[in-house]
Amino acid sequence: MNPAQFLLILGGALILGYVTDFVGRKTILPRVTLLILLGIVVGRDGFDFVLPFLSEQFDLIANVTLLIIGFLLGGRFTLETLKKSGMKILFLSLCLTVIVSAVVILGLILVGMDIEHAIILGCIASATAPAATFDTIKESQIKGPVSDLLLSVVAPVEAWSLVLFSLGIAVVNVLFAHQDLLTPILHASWEIGGGIVLGGVLGWMTAYLASLTKPGKPMLSETVGMILVCGGLSMWLEVSFLLSSIAMGAVIVNYPRKSYEDPFEVIESVEWPFLVFFFIFAGAELEVSHLPEIGLAGLAFVLLRSVGKVLGGMAWSKASGSHGKGLEWVGSAMLPQAGASMGMALVAATKFPEAADLLLSIIISTTVIFEIFGPICTQLFLQKVAAHAKEEG
Instruction: Please provide the DSSP assignment of 168-194 as one string.
Output: HHHHHHHHTTSS-SHHHHHHHHIIIII
- Of 43, 67, 12, 30, which Cα lies nearest the Cα of 241? 67
User: What local confidence, expressed as pLDDT, does residue 305 receive?
Assistant: 93
Q: Tally the C-alpha atoms within 13 A of residue 325's C-alpha that lie toward its C-beta.
A: 14
User: Which amino acid appears at position 311 of this protein?
Assistant: L
User: What local confidence, expressed as pLDDT, does residue 178 receive?
Assistant: 58
pTM: predicted TM-score of the whole model, two decimal places = 0.81
With a cut of 80, say whether residue 326 has pLDDT above it. Answer: no
Given the candidates 1.20.1530.20, 1.20.1090.10, 1.10.3720.10, 1.10.10.10, the CATH classification of the domain at 53-269+295-392 is 1.20.1530.20
Q: Which residue has the higher pLDDT, 29 or 110?
A: 110
Spatial separation of the C-alpha atoms in residues 358 and 298, rounded to whole Å? 9
User: What local confidence, expressed as pLDDT, does residue 393 receive?
Assistant: 56
Mean pLDDT of all residues in the chain?
Answer: 80
Q: Which residue has the higher pLDDT, 378 or 220?
A: 378
With a cut of 80, say whether residue 125 has pLDDT above it. Answer: yes
Among the listed ranges 13-27, 61-75, 293-307, which one has the minimum average pLDDT value? 13-27
Spatial separation of the C-alpha atoms in residues 311 and 287, rounded to whole Å? 29
Percent of the chain with pLDDT over 90: 10
Contacts 24+ apart (CB under 8 A), 214-221: 215/259, 215/260, 216/260, 216/261, 217/260, 217/261, 218/261, 218/266, 219/260, 219/261, 219/262, 219/263, 219/266, 220/266, 220/269, 220/270
Q: Which residue has the higher pLDDT, 299 or 323?
A: 299
Spatial separation of the C-alpha atoms in residues 26 and 116, rounded to whole Å? 46
Hey, is 30 helix, strand or coil? coil
Q: Choose from 17-31, 163-177, 199-213 the range with maximum mean pLDDT.
A: 199-213
